[in-house]
Structure 1
Amino acid sequence: MGYDNNKGYARKYREKAHEETEYIFRKALPEHGLNVREEQLRLSHEMLDALWGNQIALCDAGVGIGKTYAYLAACVMRQKYREGRGNAEAKPVPCQPAVISTSSIALQEAILREYIPFLSKILLEEKIIHTPLKAVVRKGKEHFVCDIRLKQRLAAVQDKRKNEGQKKALFSLITCYDMDQVKGLSGFDRRLVCVPRFCPKDCEGREGCRYQRHLDPAKNIGIHFQICNHNYLLADASHRAKGYRPLLSDYQILVADEAHKLPEAVGQMCGKRLCYDDVLELCYFLEREHQKMRAGRIKAMLKTLFEITAQENPFEYGQKTAFRQTETGRNMLKESAALLFGTASRCGRGIPKWIRNRLEETGKILCFFQPVTDQRYILYLEQDKEQYPVFCAVSREVPAYLYGMLWEKGFPAIITSGTLRAGNGFLHTRQMLGLSGKKRGKQAPVQEYAAESPFAYRKNCLLYLPKDYKKIRHGSEKEAVQIAKQIRQLVYSAHGHTMVLFTSYSLMGNVCRVLRGSLPFPMVEVWRHAQEEIMHFKEYGNAVLFAAGSCWEGVDFPGDMVSSLIIVRLPFAVPDPVREAEKEQYESLGEYIEAVAVPDMQKKLRQGFGRAIRTETDTCVVSILDHRAAKGGRYHEKVLQALPACGMAESLGDVEAFIRSRKNVEYYM
């Protein structure tokens, strides 16, 4: 009888949770200025069902759905009516706060300072909850200032020549302990003044430490949401697996937003990286321990190593390249590793243990790149902003790691993003996230849901696939001239207001060189100071933005600012060592292209396409200047499959007519 009663109560609370979810999105939120979005409501119901049934929900949410409110409401309802605890006047039970993991700091701040306070205010007014929703952002130590280190750094630069902007940013840390809130701070300064990985127990500044005070709110009873990035979530899981003290309070609900970035975070967690700034930082701390001569030897030898590696491995910024080694490079690697290990040994207790550990870790990374390598890792090089190589070793076991660290535990989770679905399915996402194959261990069942964007793409968006676009050899001058001609015509058609997305910085540079001086609108090129250049583009209003890399996602240009989006090539991933290793898992190239290359392209294409329409009233032409996307092209159907249904055009006349029909006089002024 007791068991039947419990089932009855659970069913009753579940129904109440769904009823209140319906009320929140149909009545409460619209009364405070938000539109009723049927897909958002259905998405929240799906998420709530997954949490209630201890399932994992894979939720692909189109642009403009409002997925953040959808999962916040689902979490609040599950906390309020948790089985055996809920009743009509129940309060959200805060004993085990939900975790929201994201990729970007911007989204974390928005959830903390905008979404949760707004939702909390409404739910309190409607008496759906009786105490305010509380949240805390949890970030790694590297984001916060160590007051002792800051004092030392300020003394070191006080009377020295230094970039004034960087110096001002550094001194502003006296009053602001969160470095993410300070603009203009150099990467080198960040690394020198951040809280160290291991704080000494006898630290003289521990009592008044701002970082320790920052941690106190997270320990308070009454927190409903812990917000962190994917790396912090995975670090917490690793701590738990090794029996260390957890970084996050215990939780039974996980929300992974921007989940398409999770595999990348695992690669960073499990991999090894060494850049020249790491060496400079290490030498700086050695010098502070009165080891100036040893620091100088390390700095000189490793600078030579990085320079030789750069000469032997030329490649483009933003790309990965296979590590190639000559006898000279191999000898330098051995000598550099030996110097690092030898310095750690000879210094002994004359330097802190954590510096000895850093010396040994740096030596071990260099050992990875000698002939005897660990087959668990894929080795490659990247290029930093100073054009020095970065030594990278990435794990081959990303899906297995995610399964073991997160999903095997069996708790319910919401995994969401705007690009989880490729084509018509989630198969590739399941494989990347470790959710494919038969259910093992305690892994919760997986359910899938795709919420389509509420935007009227058929009315407000035109997809232009030029039919007369000819195939020209990649990298040739003729190709750059042809692309420039197409872009010029489209820019004139849209009267500026254009964003051009490239898959290659090299091609972007060649096209920009052809176009400079030939457009009557400002040209803005996004290279390495992206935020500054994007701000310039916004200020102009009707400029032309040329971008690649990170600008395929995360940038927001609502209104008329981007009324013409040009995608120069289909965003197939550039071949690199990681892709080559992935290719080895498939019997044929065709199977790999179908299973991995095309789904990855479709996801990236959707990300780029998402820059076009950002609100219900935006109108835009999206042009794809790739002959493979045109009607009859090899990937025409795959392109249409990836994008929302919208109007189609094959001529510039149609593009011009669409723009004229959608824009008013002010647009052209």
Structure 2
Amino acid sequence: MHRNEYRRMAHEEVEEIFREILPQAGMKVREEQITLCHQMLSSLCGNKIALCDAAVGVGKTYAYLVACILFRKYSQLLSGYFSMCGQSQPIVISTSSIALQEAIQREYIPFLSQVLLKKGIISAPIQAVIRKGKEHFVCDNRLELRLDAVRRKAKNPLQREALYALREQYDMDSVQHLSGFDRRMVCVPKYCPETCEMRTYCRYQKYLKEATDEKVFIQICNHNYLLADTLHRANDFRPLLRNYQALIIDEAHKFPEAARQMYGKSFGPEDFMEICSLLEGEHYTHIAAKLREAFSQLFESLPRPQGVLEEQARFRFVLNRESRQALRNSIRWLQRAEDLLIGNLSRWTKNRLEESREVLLQFLNVDRNNILFLEYTSKGLPVFCTVHRKTESLIKADIWERGFPAILTSGTLKAGESFQRSEQLNGLEDVGRVREYQADSPFDYDENCLLYMPRRKRKVYDSYHGEIRFLSEQIRKLVCSTFGHTLVLFTSYSMMGNVYRELRGNLPFPLLKVWKDSQSVIREFKAQKNCVLFAAGSCWEGVDFPGDVVSSLIIVRLPFAVPDPVREAERERYQTLKEYIQKIIVPDMQIKLRQGFGRAIRTETDTCVVSILDSRAGRGGKYHKEVIDALPVCRITDRMADVENFIRNRKRIEYYM
């Protein structure tokens, strides 16, 4: 049979599968979903790299899973390249969130297997496994030692119960109430000693054997694990994943930041505590004490930022006389530990000493190949960080030049009218086999969404306090117009705190605020139904509020990125500030704005008012066109009365009760 005939058969099966699975999954059959799957399947079979911008409601997870299944079925028939790979090689799916990884393994794949087996499209169930680092799994030997240590000691009953539950559950992520200390004490060590009696038959080794079985078709991991495997291959170390024939990167907008972390290096308080503990564990207490003293002086010599820290607060690293001396002293003791104990240390402890010394040396010698900065934790503790200046070229060389097909998908890969920024960040510029595809949302935004952008008088900028008063009054009016049910997204925790203080006690609805990742507050907001939630940071994406819980989404300021050393280094690539703003700053803002906007409409029946209070977004504003280009087509108003009428005309009486 001719190759084109097999290709036609594969595409016909796409439509057949979707018309079977979507109604059973409670979804409507839409052309957007079928077309998206066609594009993904064509890219896989044609050995292409597809950038797929798939809006909320399209069903991209089903699309790429069906494409992978049919690719496996037809690949040897459609392309000579894949006949060389062999069908035994798996497909890797990389995501950012644990929730999506678990949903793929426990919900999507079992459901698809059941339906496709019944239809005769596949002959055996699809097998998948989640791959993650050693720190997520139980070391049976360390667990027994820990249980023996706490057997006769007073311990929180829930934590004790969780610890004993690990005898049945080797994946610690599946056990609630396990303390952070217990996790560290019982997890598989980063370097398993060869003398361990349980090494050949412990549950972790059994898991690894099962995970690498040829019957496992889909390997699921997070971006960091995928990149760790990539670095192992680039450095001729043993790979973490089996050789794979194709790659799916979901939540791809988070992949570049993960790459910066993995290709960069860091050294912070947790690292120095680990090194000291490792040396003490090997009975080198004197050297551990000297290192602890040197590290403490180093971190105390560094400046501490003032005020509320935003997420990923990064600061340019500048050495003064005190910090330079403390840095030299720390490097000297790390070197002395290596010299004195050479041949006596475990391989892992030796590697940690070398890595830490290399990181600190980059700061002492000001390595020009890397961007050097301090990143402060939520507790205000400094971490030495390095980022390679050409991370994109490393991604290109280590991943894309290996030649396999790939799909990068997310709801926010496109900025305005272009994929250029996503191509740049992911090292895909000048890669000849890239395809781009946008799957628009099936939701009727023109009918179900109203975009409110008020006209603003210049006098509100007379002072910061004037700005806070203006924003507070606008938020108060919007909350009352929509009868609560409001999510307010801020770009700054400090501004959020100031507006919160202004409105606390002045709203007729409960007012909550989220600091960092407070899931308990989000659950309370959902439970109260007509509450008001102030949020920033991670709440701009990945949080789902379907139904009437969020019928008013307020975006206080356009989400322009905060300047930091990484962005300053990127600025150096452009001849003018205007070019840098147009090619980097604005596209990044558009992507972040789309992420925030995506909290508004989550299902076909949702209705919501989205308000953008930044004067630069409104008619006549500096970035009005860029904002409109970034968002779905919907009606726009600058009148509060239109907001009230929109809600009144689309909500039932129960909404107000």
- 1:132-211 pair list within 5 angstroms: 132-154=125-147, 169-187=162-180, 189-211=182-204
1:5 paired residue number: none
1:98 paired residue number: 91
Looking at structure 1, the residues matched to 588 and 133 of structure 2 have their Cα atoms a distance apart, in angstroms, of: 30
Is the contact made by 1:313 and 1:324 (CA closer than 8 Å) also made in structure 2? no
Indicate yes or no: 2:618 matched with 1:627. Answer: no
Aligned-CA RMSD value: 2.3
1:558 paired residue number: 546
Looking at structure 1, the residues matched to 591 and 455 of structure 2 have their Cα atoms a distance apart, in angstroms, of: 24
- 1:307-322 pair list within 5 angstroms: 307-311=300-304, 316-318=309-311, 319-322=313-316
Query: What secondary structure does 1:500 align onto?
Result: strand
1:333 paired residue number: 327
Is the contact made by 1:305 and 1:329 (CA closer than 8 Å) also made in structure 2? yes
Bigger Cα displacement from structure 2, 138-147 vs 150-159: 150-159
1:355 paired residue number: 349
Is the contact made by 2:6 and 2:78 (CA closer than 8 Å) also made in structure 1? no
Q: 1:438 to 1:22 in 2, by over 3 A?
A: closer
* Deviation (angstroms), 1:404: 0.8
Query: What secondary structure does 2:110 align onto?
Result: helix
Looking at structure 1, the residues matched to 158 and 288 of structure 2 have their Cα atoms a distance apart, in angstroms, of: 28
TM-score under structure 2 normalisation?
A: 0.94
- Can you list the C-alpha shifts for 1:228-271, whole angstroms capped at 9, x where unaligned? 11122122222223333222122211111111111111111111
Paired residue for 2:113, among 107, 111, 120? Answer: 120
* Deviation (angstroms), 1:366: 2.0
Is the contact made by 1:526 and 1:545 (CA closer than 8 Å) also made in structure 2? yes
1:522 paired residue number: 510
Indicate yes or no: 2:40 matched with 1:47. Answer: yes
Q: 1:98 to 1:446 in 2, by over 3 A?
A: same
Bigger Cα displacement from structure 2, 422-431 vs 176-185: 176-185
Looking at structure 2, the residues matched to 385 and 169 of structure 1 have their Cα atoms a distance apart, in angstroms, of: 27
Paired residue for 1:458, among 431, 437, 446? Answer: 446
Query: What secondary structure does 2:442 align onto?
Result: coil
Letter of the structure 1 residue corresponding to residue 169 of structure 2: C
Query: What secondary structure does 1:573 align onto?
Result: coil
* Deviation (angstroms), 1:12: 1.3
Which ranges of structure 2 fall in alignment gaps of 5 or more residues?
A: 80-85
Is the contact made by 1:96 and 1:250 (CA closer than 8 Å) also made in structure 2? yes
* Deviation (angstroms), 1:390: 1.6
Is the contact made by 1:21 and 1:44 (CA closer than 8 Å) also made in structure 2? yes
Q: 1:193 to 1:528 in 2, by over 3 A?
A: farther
Indicate yes or no: 2:561 matched with 1:573. Answer: yes
Indicate yes or no: 2:381 matched with 1:393. Answer: no
- Can you list the C-alpha shifts for 1:559-602, whole angstroms capped at 9, x where unaligned? 11111111010001000000000000000000000001000000
Looking at structure 2, the residues matched to 408 and 189 of structure 1 have their Cα atoms a distance apart, in angstroms, of: 42
Looking at structure 2, the residues matched to 342 and 486 of structure 1 have their Cα atoms a distance apart, in angstroms, of: 62
Looking at structure 2, the residues matched to 609 and 636 of structure 1 have their Cα atoms a distance apart, in angstroms, of: 15
Looking at structure 1, the residues matched to 154 and 466 of structure 2 have their Cα atoms a distance apart, in angstroms, of: 47
1:89 paired residue number: none
Query: What secondary structure does 2:543 align onto?
Result: coil
- Can you list the C-alpha shifts for 1:15-70, whole angstroms capped at 9, x where unaligned? 10001111112344325533102101100011111111111111100111000111
Looking at structure 1, the residues matched to 159 and 264 of structure 2 have their Cα atoms a distance apart, in angstroms, of: 30
Q: How many residues align?
A: 651
* Deviation (angstroms), 1:406: 1.2
Indicate yes or no: 2:129 matched with 1:129. Answer: no
Q: 1:348 to 1:526 in 2, by over 3 A?
A: same
Is the contact made by 1:378 and 1:577 (CA closer than 8 Å) also made in structure 2? yes
Is the contact made by 1:28 and 1:126 (CA closer than 8 Å) also made in structure 2? no
1:408 paired residue number: 401
Letter of the structure 2 residue corresponding to residue 196 of structure 1: P
Letter of the structure 1 residue corresponding to residue 382 of structure 2: P
- Can you list the C-alpha shifts for 1:381-426, whole angstroms capped at 9, x where unaligned? 2221322112111111211111111111121111111111010111
2:435 paired residue number: 447
TM-score under structure 1 normalisation?
A: 0.92
* Deviation (angstroms), 1:621: 0.6
Bigger Cα displacement from structure 2, 592-601 vs 216-225: 216-225
* Deviation (angstroms), 1:490: 1.0
- Can you list the C-alpha shifts for 1:620-659, whole angstroms capped at 9, x where unaligned? 1110010000000000010000000012121111111111
1:76 paired residue number: 69
Indicate yes or no: 2:344 matched with 1:344. Answer: no
- 1:594-633 pair list within 5 angstroms: 594-633=582-621
* Deviation (angstroms), 1:662: 1.1
Indicate yes or no: 2:242 matched with 1:254. Answer: no
Letter of the structure 2 residue corresponding to residue 224 of structure 1: F
* Deviation (angstroms), 1:208: 3.6
* Deviation (angstroms), 1:360: 2.7
Q: 1:469 to 1:19 in 2, by over 3 A?
A: farther
Looking at structure 2, the residues matched to 302 and 587 of structure 1 have their Cα atoms a distance apart, in angstroms, of: 41
Paired residue for 1:494, among 482, 503, 515? Answer: 482
* Deviation (angstroms), 1:280: 2.0
Identity level (%): 55
Letter of the structure 2 residue corresponding to residue 149 of structure 1: R
Looking at structure 2, the residues matched to 170 and 469 of structure 1 have their Cα atoms a distance apart, in angstroms, of: 60
Bigger Cα displacement from structure 2, 380-389 vs 70-79: 380-389
Letter of the structure 2 residue corresponding to residue 479 of structure 1: E
Looking at structure 1, the residues matched to 322 and 562 of structure 2 have their Cα atoms a distance apart, in angstroms, of: 29
Indicate yes or no: 2:654 matched with 1:660. Answer: no
* Deviation (angstroms), 1:272: 0.9
Looking at structure 1, the residues matched to 302 and 160 of structure 2 have their Cα atoms a distance apart, in angstroms, of: 32
Is the contact made by 1:60 and 1:417 (CA closer than 8 Å) also made in structure 2? yes
* Deviation (angstroms), 1:351: 3.6
Indicate yes or no: 2:205 matched with 1:217. Answer: no
Query: What secondary structure does 1:136 align onto?
Result: strand
- Can you list the C-alpha shifts for 1:134-172, whole angstroms capped at 9, x where unaligned? 111111222222233344455566677877766665554
Indicate yes or no: 2:526 matched with 1:533. Answer: no
Bigger Cα displacement from structure 2, 584-593 vs 115-124: 115-124
- Can you list the C-alpha shifts for 1:345-383, whole angstroms capped at 9, x where unaligned? 32344442321321232222222222x122121111222
Bigger Cα displacement from structure 2, 183-192 vs 210-219: 183-192
Paired residue for 1:233, among 220, 226, 233? Answer: 226
Looking at structure 1, the residues matched to 646 and 540 of structure 2 have their Cα atoms a distance apart, in angstroms, of: 24
- Can you list the C-alpha shifts for 1:304-326, whole angstroms capped at 9, x where unaligned? 32233143788724221112322
Is the contact made by 1:191 and 1:281 (CA closer than 8 Å) also made in structure 2? no
Letter of the structure 2 residue corresponding to residue 591 of structure 1: E
* Deviation (angstroms), 1:300: 3.4
Paired residue for 2:576, among 573, 588, 593? Answer: 588
